Amino acid sequence: MRLMIAIMCLGLVASSGRATDPYSKTASAANEKLVKLFGAGGFRGAESFGTGIIISPEGHILTAATPFLDGRELRLHLPDGRKMPFKVKVIEPEFDAAILEIVQPKKDALPLDLPYFDIKEAGAKLNVQTGDWVMALSNMYNVATRDEMLSVQRAMVTAIGKLSARRGAFEVPFHGDVLYLDTITNNPGAAGGAIINRKGELLGLIGKEFRNTQTDTWVNYAMPLNTKAEINIKGEKKTFTLAEFADLAMQGKWIKSERPEVRETKGPTAYTGIIFVPRVVERTPPYIEQIDSNSPAAKAGLKPDDLVIYFDGEPVYSTDTFRDLLKRYSPGDKVQIEIRRGDKLTAISLDLQPLPKR
């Protein structure tokens, strides 16, 4: 009899000790405070979709400073499936983040009362350490629309450290502490998504897709709410956290830093050896006119009259697109391009080289 009781006790202990499953509940609760962002564009080889975090009941949103925010026709889908226009309130390059504001289509509409993350409180009580299990929620690959739930991934914080990354040849403007994650979270469209802990508390913002400057691998990271940046305001340097920025910016109290926004205006630093037909109209089709001898293009077997269709998976609409895309790469990178020769599509791999000195 005593044995029986002992076994029963053990059984009880085992079942209550089992890691029961709060993840699905936590994830769907967090999903109610996140939005899917859409913009026009996609012509510059960048995605025109992303993710955002609702930080006020009236519809302020924290997201990453993704390029499509510069465009027009900005729309978002609320978790209940409603479609709303929004505008950009602040873009802060020092945080590489943006604050958005939902615009109610009807002027006389009642104010929104959305579920939201209290960014100030979340920033103040933030506690995240290396080795913590977290969840990432985002609309990566634009797989969800309307009221469909965002993608949820589980990840471990593998390190907390400074971000040293680049996009193409350009260094990332933000250099503060980030959470490095062991799961492939930073996919197309994931930027602006949320990192939460098992209790559903907001920990950070999923960043844009970048490569590590040292190893050239893609980094998976998020900016914790307490990450700091030094902001240059009227010649005075002040330090703020991401949460403080978001809180001030949504109240309209943020003074934008004086650092010039990093724009990808420089020419490419990598060299292919392709010379296109003359750019007579804005959308000149990318037909190859000539190939430099001994260039990467010559080695790869490209020929005059080839039409470039894709550049590393991105459609190439014009000679301008090709130039823009090339700017995102550095010498030493290997890119896949697809060309049309006659009726055939051919994939060719190019080893980019440094620009030859002329």
Partner 1 sequence: MKKRLLMVGLLSLGLAAGFLAVTPAKPVAAADPAKEAELDRVNLIKKIRPAVVAVYIKDFSRDPRGSIAGGGSGVIIDKEGYCLTNFHVVDHGGQITPTFACGMPNGELYDAVTVGVDRGGDTAMIKLIPKKEGDTFPVAELGDSDTLKPGDWTMIMGNAQLLSTDFTPSVSFGLVSGVNRYVDFGFAEHTDAIQYDTTANQGNSGGPIFNMKGQVVGLVFGGAPGKRGAFNTGIGYGLPINMAKNFLGHMRGGLFSDHATLGATVSSQASEESDVVKMTVNQVLEDSDVGRRGIIEGDELLNFAGRPLTSVNQFKSALGIFPKEWRLPLTYRRGNEKKDTLVRLMSLTPAVVKKKDAPPGGPGGGAPPKPRAFGAGAKFWEEKKGFTNYYFNRQVRDALLADAKKLGDYSPLTGEWVWTGTYDRDMRGGDFLVKIEDVKDPANPKDTTPEVTLALGAATYKLNPLKQGLTVVELSEPPFSGGLMMAAYQYRRFLTLGAKGSEREACHFAGVEPVYLMPADGSKPKKYEDVRVFAEVIRTEHADVPAKWYYYKAALNPQHKDKPLYPDGTLFAAEVTVSRDQDPCELYFSDFKNVGGRELPHRIEVRNGDKRYAMFNVKVTTLK
Rule CB under 8 A: which residues touch partner 1? 10, 13-14, 17-19, 21, 23-28, 31, 81-85, 105, 135, 140-141, 143-154, 183-185, 187-188, 218, 220, 312-314, 336, 345
To partner 1, the closest distance from the beta carbon of 258 in angstroms equals 35
Round to whole Å and give the CA distance between 158 and 195: 14
Contacts of 223 (CB under 8 A, 6+ apart): 95, 96, 97, 163, 174, 176, 178, 179, 204, 205, 207, 242
What are the distances in angstroms from CA 161 to CA 12, 24, 72, 113, 121?
42, 29, 35, 37, 23
290: alpha, beta or left? (left if phi > 0; alpha if psi -120 to 50): beta
To partner 1, the closest distance from the beta carbon of 242 in angstroms equals 23
Across 141-165, b (16+ Cβ under 10 Å) vs e yields eeebeeeeebbbbebebbebeebeb
- The residue among 168 and 176 lying less far from partner 1, judged by its C-beta, is 168
- The residue among 27 and 229 lying less far from partner 1, judged by its C-beta, is 27
Q: How many residues does the chain have?
A: 358
Round to whole Å and give the CA distance between 149 and 27: 9
Contacts 24+ apart (CB under 8 A), 339-347: 339/288, 339/302, 339/306, 339/307, 339/308, 339/309, 340/306, 340/307, 340/309, 341/303, 341/305, 341/306, 341/307, 345/309
To partner 1, the closest distance from the beta carbon of 275 in angstroms equals 26
CA 176-179-183 angle, 5° bins: 140
Interstrand relation of 97-102 and 60-64 (parallel, antiparallel or unpaired) = antiparallel
To partner 1, the closest distance from the beta carbon of 238 in angstroms equals 37
- The residue among 10 and 255 lying less far from partner 1, judged by its C-beta, is 10
To partner 1, the closest distance from the beta carbon of 312 in angstroms equals 6
To partner 1, the closest distance from the beta carbon of 19 in angstroms equals 4
To partner 1, the closest distance from the beta carbon of 149 in angstroms equals 5
Residue recorded with tokens 């609309």: 139
- The residue among 313 and 332 lying less far from partner 1, judged by its C-beta, is 313
Question: Strand order of the sheet with strand 165-167?
Answer: 170-171, 165-167, 210-212, 218-219
Which amino acid belongs to residue 166? R
To partner 1, the closest distance from the beta carbon of 313 in angstroms equals 4
- The residue among 135 and 246 lying less far from partner 1, judged by its C-beta, is 135
- The residue among 14 and 280 lying less far from partner 1, judged by its C-beta, is 14
To partner 1, the closest distance from the beta carbon of 80 in angstroms equals 9
- The residue among 232 and 349 lying less far from partner 1, judged by its C-beta, is 349
Here the tokens at position 108 are 């006389």
- The residue among 78 and 242 lying less far from partner 1, judged by its C-beta, is 78
- The residue among 60 and 211 lying less far from partner 1, judged by its C-beta, is 211
Here the tokens at position 131 are 């080795």
